[in-house]
Amino acid sequence: MRLDDGTSIDADALVGADGIASPIARGLDDRLRPRRAGYVGWRGIADLPTGEDPCQFWGPAREAGLMPVSEASTYWFATERAGSDARRPDDPLAHLAERFAGWDPELLALIAATDPAELLWHPIEDRRMPRRWSAGRVAVIGDAAHPTRPHLGQGGAQAIEDGVLLGALLAAEADPPVAFARFERGRRRRVAGIIRTSSLLGRALHSPAPIGVPFRASAGILPDALMVGQLRPVASRAAFEDHARRVLGS
């Protein structure tokens, strides 16, 4: 592999973990282009504790959630509709205070307590999976292989699952192309399901069409039991262990 600075690296295989705009994925499938989905995501960590378990708020064409990350700090996220030419607002905290006015007071306090310089703002993008995840000794993992909208909180989680499982397959198999083929065979269906469900959730939450109206009538907390039940087949330890057995044993 030749790098931009002119140096070259000899290796048995190349694994591209270079994100949604991956040139390595485009090398596998030249039709791939990220496209904005019509809304943007905000993420921040506030130096404020929360007594709450993780929770989520859904309102008209917006959603938000919060999760304690330590005894003294809390992660929060929010999404809102935005055109394809949307840019990060100059005063993000004022913008968010206005967009989420009337929502849960704890959420608003967390947003207000976040350092604006540390606030992440990203347009949510779609990009299909490449026709195949590998060719010979070149493969892609993570968002390069299977970008997903954030509504199940699974993009990073699935990238980590990729790393764990591909690592195990490569350790057990001397021929990288064989490991890559087993990896894709075992993984593609699981991530395709997650992409489909996340996309449906995103469309329902952010569509201007009537779909989802009853859920968007006001910002309300989804009952914990429902949230956990929905995520169990995707995000539970048991679901991963079951999946890993199938991938590694296949």
Ligand X SMILES: Cc1cc2nc3c(=O)[nH]c(=O)nc-3n(C[C@H](O)[C@H](O)[C@H](O)COP(=O)(O)OP(=O)(O)OC[C@H]3O[C@@H](n4cnc5c(N)ncnc54)[C@H](O)[C@@H]3O)c2cc1C
**Site of interaction with ligand X (CB under 6 A):** 17-19, 23, 41, 43, 77, 122, 142-144, 150, 153-157, 159
CB 11 within 8 A of CB 1: yes
CA angle 162, 167, 170 (to 5 degrees): 120
- Closest distance of CB 94 from ligand X, Å: 20
The residue (of 43 and 203) whose beta carbon lies closer to ligand X is 43
The residue (of 33 and 218) whose beta carbon lies closer to ligand X is 33
- Closest distance of CB 216 from ligand X, Å: 19
Residue 140 neighbours by CB distance under 10 Å: 30
C-alpha 158 chain-centroid distance:
8
The residue (of 65 and 186) whose beta carbon lies closer to ligand X is 65
Q: Among the residues of the chain, which ranges form H helices? A: 23-28, 92-99, 105-112, 155-172, 176-206, 224-235, 237-249
- Closest distance of CB 80 from ligand X, Å: 11
The residue (of 19 and 212) whose beta carbon lies closer to ligand X is 19
- Closest distance of CB 160 from ligand X, Å: 8
Report residue 196 as tokens: 């489909």
